[in-house]
Amino acid sequence: MSPSNTLTSARYVSTRGADAEAPKRFCEILLEGLATDGGLYVPQSYPTLSPEDLERMRGMNYRDLAFTIMSLYIDDISSEDLRQIIDRTYTTQAFGSDDITPLVQLEPGLHLLKCSNGPTLAFKDVAMQFLGHLFEFVLAREGRELNILGATSGDTGSAAEYAMKSKQGIRVFMLSPYGKMSKFQAAQMYSLQDANIHNFAVEGVFDDCQDMVKAISNDLGFKSMYRIGAVNSINWGRILAQVVYYFKGYFAATQSNDEKVSFAVPSGNFGNVLAGHVARMMGLPIKQLIVATNENDVLDEFFKTGRYRPRQSAETRQTSSPSMDISKASNFERFLFDLAWRDPAVVRELMQKVDHEGGFDLSTCDQLWGRVPKFGFASGRSTHAARLEGIKAVASRYGIEIDPHTADGYNVGLTLREPSNQLILLETALPAKFADTIQEALGKQPSRPAALAGIEALPQRVAVIPASIERLKEAISRACAPLDRND
Ligand SMILES: *Cc1c(COP(=O)(O)O)cnc(C)c1O
């Protein structure tokens, strides 16, 4: 909000040191994946909010909060244009209420922040819907097109498709494992009839889909000819959009800015909780950031022991909170950068250990490990049985159905919370997406928003293809052909 903040924080550098001499602007990094040195883009510094700033923000609605926060990180889109992009994104029509992420009190001191009322019933919509409007604006301004290529086993793919459908200048090519998603998830994606959405059901498993995306991303000639990009979880625009609901939740749960709250965050790629870390670095009075993992506990292991040890895909377990089934936490490097005094040399050294030795151990480095507590993280791990118990407990105590991921957050949050602070549980999906697990926990099918009744019976638009890169390339070039004609 103060001009001196805005000038430095709206420039971006890599966690591994690239662009340190000539930091980039927001729109320059928006459509990029990794930085050229393999690092992730981070703001050169975090803007900090004064008590007066926070007091002023307390009375704001979601859109005003979003504008106030995002303006601090974006200085190459005019205020009027950014305002319009935000106003188009955060509507009652898209998110079910003007609160966008309403806070529900479960009991005094314990709240649920409902982040999954967007079109695909997962919190990823909050960021992805924003990217859809933002990309359309930036591409039109630069006279460019973008073909988004991705692989999904569920939530990310549908959130991306619902955000990008019917947007000018954008096509989506989404690979999913044939027959491996829930009927509901498959129907959500495949029933989209928009011409710019291309669903490919790959005869294989999710890893095959991801390998195909990687192969094309490494084919630089093809990638630039067809202007291929991604909207994966390391996209800074997604993180930035997620920072907003931490503020929203904080103000809704508290009476004054002297209070501190904790957040419990179901975590996989560390994107959601990293947004909480950014909010905290900006001065939002957050006590604990409670990282909840499932049986895939890379992050819990780190915060408990100092060892960061990404898993092989063969070691990654399929669980009933599937959107947290990750082998490495892509956004973790952004936190490491802050932990390591924002010194890219230290980050490079640690990431080299990940590449060559399969991980690193900070517990042998007191200087670094000793700094972890000051960032407020705590962590825990949940299991299938605990998930079922969590879903049952919340249903019987509060009469509210939660999804398996949110149940992981509930379990870990309740174990680790400090009684002196309020706890906000982040809801990351609605139970309607995970009917089998809800059936197992509650003995009945989850309720489903009326708009999605009978979605499985709608006509589907999907091409089944073998796990062949050549076939995928053919399909992409066919889809792109008409727009490349010079007539
Ligand atoms: C993506 C996702 C998560 C994990 O979020 P990260 O940002 O990857 O940590 C948790 N729950 C649900 C339902 C998700 O879709």
**What is the tens place of the pLDDT at every residue in 110-147?**
999 999 999 999 999 999 999 999 999 999 999 999 99
The pLDDT value given to residue 207: 82
CA-CA distance, 380 to 13, in Å (whole number)?
A: 32
The pLDDT value given to residue 8: 57
Q: Is 157 in the pocket of ligand 1 (CB under 6 A)?
A: no
Confidence of residue 482 (pLDDT cuts 50, 70, 90): low
Do β-strands 286-293 and 377-381 pair in parallel, antiparallel, or remain unpaired?
A: parallel
How many Å lie between the centroid of ligand 1 and the Cα of residue 474?
32
Domain range list for the chain: 103-119+238-442
Scan for tokens 């095959």, then name that residue. Answer: 208
Tens-place pLDDT, residues 72-97: 999 999 999 999 999 999 999 999 99
CATH (one of 1.10.10.10, 3.30.2270.10, 3.40.50.1100, 3.30.1050.10) for 103-119+238-442: 3.40.50.1100
Residue nearest to atom 1 of ligand 1 (CA): 323
How many Å lie between the centroid of ligand 1 and the Cα of residue 266?
6
Residue nearest to atom 7 of ligand 1 (CA): 271
CA-CA distance, 122 to 430, in Å (whole number)?
A: 6
The answer to whether the CB of 384 falls within 8 A of the CB of 297 is no
Scan for tokens 């079109």, then name that residue. Answer: 119
36-45, 175-184, 296-305, 462-471: range with lowest mean pLDDT: 175-184
CA 316 to centroid of chain Cα atoms = 19
Comparing CA positions, the residue from 94, 386, 157 lying closest to residue 266 is 386
Confidence of residue 210 (pLDDT cuts 50, 70, 90): confident
The pLDDT value given to residue 485: 43
Residues 6+ positions from 225 with CB-CB distance below 8 Å: none
In the chain, the percentage of residues whose pLDDT exceeds 70 is 97
Do β-strands 110-114 and 146-151 pair in parallel, antiparallel, or remain unpaired?
A: unpaired
Listed in sequence order, the DSSP H helices in 143-235 are 155-164, 183-190, 206-218, 220-225
Atom of ligand 1 nearest to the CA of 270: 9
The pLDDT value given to residue 156: 87
The pLDDT value given to residue 340: 97
Confidence of residue 436 (pLDDT cuts 50, 70, 90): very high
Collapsing DSSP to helix, strand or coil, 14 comes out as strand
Residue nearest to atom 2 of ligand 1 (CA): 323
Q: Which of 246, 296, 330, 405 is the pocket-test mutation for ligand 1 (most atoms within 8 Å of CB)?
A: 405
Atom of ligand 1 nearest to the CA of 242: 7
Tens-place pLDDT, residues 336-391: 999 999 999 999 999 999 999 999 999 999 999 999 999 999 999 999 999 999 99
How many Å lie between the centroid of ligand 1 and the Cα of residue 80?
32
The answer to whether the CB of 350 falls within 8 A of the CB of 360 is yes
Reported pTM: 0.95
CA-CA distance, 484 to 487, in Å (whole number)?
A: 9
Q: Is 268 in the pocket of ligand 1 (CB under 6 A)?
A: yes
Q: Quick one: 347 exposed, middle or buried, by C-beta within 10 A (0-12, 13-18, 19+)?
A: buried
The count of other CB atoms within 10 Å of the CB of residue 221 is 7
CA-CA distance, 182 to 322, in Å (whole number)?
A: 11
Do β-strands 228-229 and 146-151 pair in parallel, antiparallel, or remain unpaired?
A: parallel
Atom of ligand 1 nearest to the CA of 403: 13
Given a cut of 50, whether residue 58 has pLDDT beyond it is yes
Which of the given ranges, 205-219, 323-337, 374-388, has the highest pLDDT on average? Answer: 374-388
The pLDDT value given to residue 2: 47
Average pLDDT over the chain reads: 93
Confidence of residue 3 (pLDDT cuts 50, 70, 90): very low
The pLDDT value given to residue 33: 80
- Long-range contacts, 340-349 (Cβ 8 Å, 24+): 340/368, 344/13, 344/14, 344/15, 344/16, 344/17, 344/20, 344/39, 345/17, 347/15, 347/16, 347/17, 347/39, 348/16, 348/17
The pLDDT value given to residue 65: 98
